[in-house]
Amino acid sequence: MEGRKSLVWAFSFLLCAGCITSNQQKVSHSAAPPSPPPSAAAHASPPVADPKRDPKSGPRLVVALAKFKEAEAKALDRDPEKQFKIRYEARDCYLDVLKADPTNLEAHRGLGRVYVDLGDFQRADETFKKAQARFPKESIFWYELGQMHNRRKDFAQATSCLNKALEIEPENRLYLTTLGFTLARAGQSEQSVAVLTRAMGLASAHYNVARMLLHLQRQQEGIQHLRQAVANNPNLDGARQLLSDMENGNGQVTVSVEFESGE
């Protein structure tokens, strides 16, 4: 709660700062100071651009507010009605930004992300594909499409989109990790290990695939991957402890399988 209050205070401060700057500019236009004498002007410093007068600074602030609303909504899983209300507010923020600045990449991305969270997959798909047409060299929209398909449990489509993202950024660890877990969810354990190894090394790849398999109640496969993780790195404490627990019948695995967008 204190963190949310701090964020709200921060946004209020920024908005007030913008208002103060605007008022100062009005005063300066109505009562401009006299020009300095020629000798002083010759030695004056060159004018410095004021970032608050950048016409795109407003959209950036609204995007930040929309992201704050997204985070606030995610914390309200026990209050669906309020959660939807705040997500619609975030959506409206992103739409306002795109009216002012149609080239704002983060607003396109955020709008599609909010549609996914609202369960409006058709609009999410349309939003991401329009953004791809505008930003053909940006990998992030392939990633977001992959996450959308993961939310729908369409792992084949998710895999295809994530591979497209990796064609543009082959060493992006977020994309590699997401693809690795997608493959594990789809039952392609060996392919998952291969992809995750690129992101985190062989032992950790086996360990994380094991955790996913155990979460999916595929215990024998999960234990085999734990054994391979420990064999590759005996000092991997998490894998060693979990293997011991599983072999003694005490294993309880909690794995987050909620596919969420990255920042």
pLDDT tens sequence across 106-164:
999 999 999 999 999 999 999 999 999 999 999 999 999 999 999 999 999 999 999 99
Q: Which helix (H) or strand (E) holds 92?
A: helix 80-100
CA–chain centroid gap for 38, Å, is 54
Cβ-count burial 50-81 (b if 16+ within 10 Å, e if not): eeeeeeeeebbbbbbbbbbbbebbeeeeeeee
What is residue 57's predicted lDDT score, i.e. its pLDDT? 61
Q: Are 94 and 66 in contact (CB under 8 A)?
A: yes
pLDDT tens sequence across 197-210:
999 999 999 999 99
**pLDDT tops 90 at residue 54:** no
**Residue 9: pLDDT band with limits 50, 70, 90:** very low
**Residue 7: pLDDT band with limits 50, 70, 90:** very low
Spatial distance between the Cα atoms of 90 and 114, rounded to a whole number of angstroms: 7
What is residue 248's predicted lDDT score, i.e. its pLDDT? 86
The more confident residue out of 247 and 70 is 70
Of all residues in the chain, what percent carry a pLDDT higher than 90?
Answer: 68
What is residue 141's predicted lDDT score, i.e. its pLDDT? 98
Round the average pLDDT of the chain to a whole number and report it: 81
**pLDDT tops 60 at residue 6:** no
What is residue 11's predicted lDDT score, i.e. its pLDDT? 44
pLDDT tens sequence across 89-109:
999 999 999 999 999 999 999
**pLDDT tops 90 at residue 56:** no
What is residue 15's predicted lDDT score, i.e. its pLDDT? 41
